[in-house]
Structure 1
Amino acid sequence: MNKDKTMKKVNIQLFASQNITMHSKDALSAKLAECFVTIRGNRYKFMQAINLEAKFEKNKTEIPILGKTGKGNKSSGWAGTGSATFHFNTSIFRELMEIYKDTGEDVYFETQISNEDPTSSAGRQTIILFDCNIDGGVLAKFDADGEYLEEDMDFTFEDFKMPEKFKLLMGMV
């Protein structure tokens, strides 16, 4: 072997005998995130958001297999769904509902979510959801016994990209 291309021997048993665990500092703070919504070319910092969750759900088809008593599963598509809770202090999404009511135009938008905790070694992850569409929403609200107003919104999305990915933590590989 060439001197420039030397391979290090790794003692796999050494790593197997060590109990490598995640450092608590690498758990991301749930509060340190950014969320932007782009509607018709206007980008809004969605600081009213309290929480948001976007899910990728695969559609699976059961496949009968000769010689097996059970069935297999084959992915046959996917669906993007999400939900958010935010402070009841913006009319942006109510405007989309009004546009749909008045004109029949269903306005789609993009949502960008970034998670980054400066204490964590994981770094930053950004997900961009494309062709988001709200399922509906709250038009008006009050609560004489409440402390503040919030609203929930469900939505769908048709595509996503991940331009920034978390780093692998020490001990993962």
Structure 2
Amino acid sequence: MNGKDAISASLAECFVTIGENRYNFMQAINLEANFEKSKSEVPILGKTGKGNKSTGWKGTGSMTAHYNSSVFRQMMLQYKDTGEDVYFEIQITNEDPTSAVGRQTIVLMDCNIDGGILAKFDADGEYLDEDMDFTFEDFKMPETFALLEGMLS
């Protein structure tokens, strides 16, 4: 791999779609979405160890954003007032024009926040940010990174 093919950490786009509204979530500082397989141990006659069988998966994520948007707090307020939970979509695209891999886009579907900060201040801070955890129930990958030269042997 050539050094130029490492993806710049800050060259990304993030969009959040809630209902009919699509937001450029430029307040995001970082986001990580994780796919975790559920597995069951399988006893196998004649072996001293057990096998492992995938039986499902779950999607979890976390993000840090600048504390300067009320969009997610409005979702919490809606849930408190009506009991109606809000599900949304997050689209993340990574693209570094210097890298030969091109761009990758992941769309996380049926996202749901675990909770969040309602109010905050820090008299000694430089700026305000907030952490938020979420789950998602599905995902798609409409764009994938290209294989770098030499990866396929």
Shorter-chain TM band: over 0.9
Counterpart residue identity of residue 97, structure 1: M
* Counterpart pick for 2:77 among 92, 98, 101: 98
* Counterpart pick for 1:165 among 132, 144, 149: 144
How many angstroms apart in 2 are the aligned matches of 1:23 and 1:96?
44
1:42 deviates by 0.3
Counterpart residue identity of residue 64, structure 2: T
For the aligned residue pairs, the C-alpha RMSD in angstroms reads 0.3
Q: Does 1:118 align with 2:86?
A: no
What residue number does 1:4 align with?
Answer: none
* Counterpart pick for 2:55 among 76, 86, 101: 76
Q: Does 1:89 align with 2:48?
A: no
Counterpart residue identity of residue 84, structure 2: E
User: Partner of 2:69: helix, strand, or coil?
Assistant: coil
1:41 deviates by 1.1
What residue number does 2:44 align with?
Answer: 65
How many angstroms apart in 1 are the aligned matches of 2:22 and 2:119?
24
* Counterpart pick for 1:51 among 26, 30, 36: 30
1:90 deviates by 0.2
User: Partner of 1:78: helix, strand, or coil?
Assistant: strand
What residue number does 1:29 align with?
Answer: 8
Q: Note the residue ranges of structure 1 that are not aligned, 5 or more in a row.
A: 1-21
What residue number does 2:126 align with?
Answer: 147
More helix by share: 1
When the two structures are superposed, what TM-score results if normalisation uses the length of structure 2? 0.99
How many angstroms apart in 1 are the aligned matches of 2:52 and 2:23?
41
More strand by share: 2
How many angstroms apart in 2 are the aligned matches of 1:110 and 1:147?
31
How many angstroms apart in 2 are the aligned matches of 1:120 and 1:126?
15
Tell me which structure has the larger Cα radius of gyration.
Answer: 1
How many angstroms apart in 2 are the aligned matches of 1:53 and 1:35?
12
Residues 10-63 of structure 1, C-alpha deviation per residue, up to 9 Å, x if partnerless? xxxxxxxxxxxx000000000000000000110000000000000010000001
When the two structures are superposed, what TM-score results if normalisation uses the length of structure 1? 0.87
- 4+ residue runs over 2 A deviation: none
Aligned pair count reads 152
